[in-house]
Amino acid sequence: MRTDKMAEDFLQRAKARLTDARAALKRGDYPDVVRYSQECVELSIKACLRIIGIDYPKVHDVGDILEYYRNSFPEWFRKEIPQMRQISRDLYQKRGPSVYGIEREGKTASELFTKTDAEEALQNAEKAYSTSQRFFNEYYKKPED
């Protein structure tokens, strides 16, 4: 499959996760906001890696891979990498608890995440997505989404 088509598909799916996260926020389902936000970030970063031809590892946190290949990106994007890595790592750590809670502590996912947590996760996902979409558009010379 072509790299551009894979990256484009990842970004379309990342955008769909943002839609899901926004809907979850409206209904007060804060763990799902975190989960969908994490998936958005993961797909967004993987799209960027696909654009430059990197076959990333099949893991949920690929922020370190982004850093490793930083010199393959334009200067403006390299400035965003530290924040993208942090967002990826933070949401990756929340991924499991957002689905399962913390069983050993007897806490459900709904008990773990607040509206503030959800809003922050969504804001971070929007940042990762918009940065990735910009890179895609510039790389393939497409108009802004």
pLDDT digits (tens, 9 = 90+) for 13-48: 999 999 999 999 999 999 999 999 999 999 999 999
CB 143 within 8 A of CB 133: no
Query: What's the distance, Cα to Cα, between the start and end of the chain in Å?
Result: 23
The structural domains of the chain, with segments of one domain joined by +, span: 3-139
Q: Quick one: angle between helices 115-139 and 30-51, nearest 10?
A: 20
The average pLDDT across 8-14 equals 97
Instruction: Using alpha carbons, list the distances in angstroms from residue 81 to 14, 58, 101, 109.
Output: 18, 20, 29, 29
Instruction: Using alpha carbons, list the distances in angstroms from residue 139 to 51, 52, 128, 145.
Output: 8, 9, 16, 14
pTM recorded for the entire structure: 0.94
- Please determine, for residue 80, whether its predicted confidence score (pLDDT) is greater than 60: yes
Q: What percent of the chain has pLDDT over 90?
A: 90
pLDDT given for residue 144 in this prediction: 62
Residue 117, SS3 per DSSP: helix
Place of tokens 């942090």: 86
pLDDT given for residue 79 in this prediction: 98
Helix, strand, coil percentages, rounded to 5, for the chain: 80, 0, 20
1 confidence band (pLDDT: 50, 70, 90): low
Pinpoint the alpha helices (H) of 28-72.
30-51, 63-68
pLDDT given for residue 56 in this prediction: 82
What is the C-alpha separation between 11 and 131, in angstroms, rounded? 11
Domain spanning 3-139: which superfamily?
Nucleotidyltransferases  domain 2 (1.20.120.330)
